Structure 1
C-alpha cells in the first residue's frame, strides 16, 4: 500500500501519559509526524527522544498556544494534506488513510474529520452548526443548571441534525464545523487562509478554521464510517489554566463574527461565572482544593468578560 501524502502535526503540553499510544498509531500509518512541544514540564521530551527518534520535534521554551504551534509545524510541511491530531487522540491507520483520501480525492473538500469515540466507548458529538447565543446557552451554560428538555429546545434544528449525523451510520455528511481533536486539512487551503488564527490561544480555533474554509468555498465533511479514539482534556485538568482561555476565545469569536449577540453572550458569561463562584464557595468546606481552583477560574473569567468589548483586538488576554 502506498504511503499517504500527508503529514501529522501534534501539539503537546504535559501530554506524556497519552502521547506514546497516539504517536505509535501515527507512525504505523506511515505519516510524516511533527510534534511541537509547548514547554512541557513532565517527561514528554524524554519520551520523544527515547521512543520516537525519527519524529521531527520543535521544542518551544514557552507555551505559545495551540494555533501558533500548529503554524510553526505547518511551515515545514510539503505534503498535500495535513492531519491535526491531539496527543490524547488515537488515529488508527485505516482511519488516517480514509481521512487523507477524502480530502485528496475531492477538490471541493477542504476539511474532513472522523467519528470520535470517548474513553467510555460512546460516540462524542464532534460535528456542530456554527455557534449562536442559543447554542452557547444550551451547551456552555446547561449541565445541571438547565433541564435536558430545555437544553434540547434551545439547541434548535441545526444542532439536532448535527447530533444525529454523529450518532447515525452512513456516508460523508457536510457540516458547519468539526471539533479539532482530529482533522484532515488540505495544505493549500490551510496556507491560503494563513494557518490557524493565532489570536486564539486555545479553543475555538477549529470553528474559526472551518468558518474560513467555508468562506473560501471548501466543504467541511464528517465521516461517520471511520473512527478515532479521543480521551479529551487529558493534558489540561486544571480549570485555572483552561477555562479562562475557553471563555476568552468564545468572546473573541462572537466579537468577530456575531457582533449583534456579543453583549448578550458576555452577559451570559458573567452570570455563569458568578453562579460558578457561588457554587465553588459553597463546596469549599467539602473539597477545598478543587473548589478553590474553580472559584479562581470563574473569578478570572468574570474579569475577562467585564473588560471585553465588541472589538476583537480589545478582548483582554488571559493572565
Structure 2
C-alpha cells in the first residue's frame, strides 16, 4: 500500500512539473517502528522525483510527534501531511497548488476523498458531540440508522458536494493536509499530547485561528483507511484517551 501511495505521489509530482512546478520534492518517511529495527525505503521512494529522507530510530512516538520530526526539518513553501493509505490522482497536486497560489490567505487545503468503490468519504466535520462520536464509532449499523440525520450533519453532508469549494470546514482529516509551511510552523505542528486520533481535529481548529481552510473537490484522492472501532480494543482505548484530551482542551459538547 505504501508503494502505491508513493507511486501515485510521484506521478502527481511529475504532472506538476509539466505545468511549471518543481520536478523534485523532499520526501520524509517516518518509521515509528521498533528502535532497533531499521527498514529500507520502498523502491518507489528511491527513484525520481523524490529526494528521500528516512526518519527512524525514535521508536513509536505517536502519529503527531512522528510528523513533527519532519515538520521541524522542512524548509519548503508547502508541506503535505500524507497517510500511507492514500493514492493521489495525477493532477491532484497541480490543482491544489494552483488553488493555493490563487488564494494567498489559504493556509490549509483538504481534497475530495473517495473510497475503493468510488464513493465519497465525508471526512470534513463539524465540531463533534460525545453522542456523535459514540454513535459513529461504536453503534451497530442498525442503530446508527436511527441517527442518520444527526450524523449526516456532523459529517457536513448538507454542505459539501463533489463540485463546489467549501470554505472553513471546522475539522478536516489528517490523512491529507496540504499546508503552507509557514502556517504549519507557526502552529508548531501537531500537539504531541495526542498519541493517535484527534490530533487532526486539534490542528484543524487551531489553523482557523491564523489562516483560512478550504475543501477543494477538484483535488482528488483515494483513501483506504479509517474505522478505529474495528481495529481492536487497543485502538478503542487510544481513541477514547485522545477524545478525553480533545474535549478537555476545546470544550465538552454532549448533545
Match of 1:45, SS state, is coil
Shift of 1:225: 2.2
Measure the CA separation in 2 of the matches of 1:127 and 1:44: 35
Q: How far 1:180 moved relative to its partner?
A: 1.1
Task: Determine which of 159, 176, 179 is the counterpart of 2:154.
Answer: 159
Q: Which residue of 2 aligns with 1:223?
A: 216
Q: Which has the larger radius of gyration?
A: 1
Matched, 1:211 2:244: no
Higher relative contact order structure (alpha carbons within 8 Å, sequence separation ≥ 6): 2
For residue 91 of structure 2, give the secondary structure of its aligned residue in structure 1: helix
Whether contact under 8 Å (1:103, 1:185) holds in the other structure is no
- TM alignment of 1:234-245, pairs within 5 A: 238-245=231-238
Note the residue ranges of structure 1 that are not aligned, 5 or more in a row: 1-17, 266-319
Matches of 1:130 and 1:139, distance apart in 2: 14
- Give the aligned CA root-mean-square deviation in angstroms: 2.8
Residue in 2 that maps onto 1:11 = none
Q: Cα gap change, 1:44/1:142 in structure 2, threshold over 3 Å: closer, same or farther?
A: farther
1:111-151 CA deviation, whole Å, 9 max, x = no partner?
Answer: 11111111122111111111123422442343336241x31
Aligned position for 1:21:
4
Hey, which of these two has a bigger chunk of helix by percent? 1
Cα distance, 1:88 vs. partner?
0.7
2:137/2:229 contact within 8 Å kept: no
| Alpha-carbon contact 1:83-1:184 (below 8 Å) kept | yes
Match of 2:140 among 143, 154, 164: 143
2-structure distance, mates of 1:237, 1:176? 26
TM-score, normalising length: structure 1: 0.67
Gaps of 5+ in 2: 14-23
Taking a change above 3 Å as real, the CA distance of residues 197 and 101 of structure 1, as seen in their structure-2 partners, is farther
In structure 2, the CA distance between the partners of 1:155 and 1:31, relative to structure 1 (3 Å rule), is same
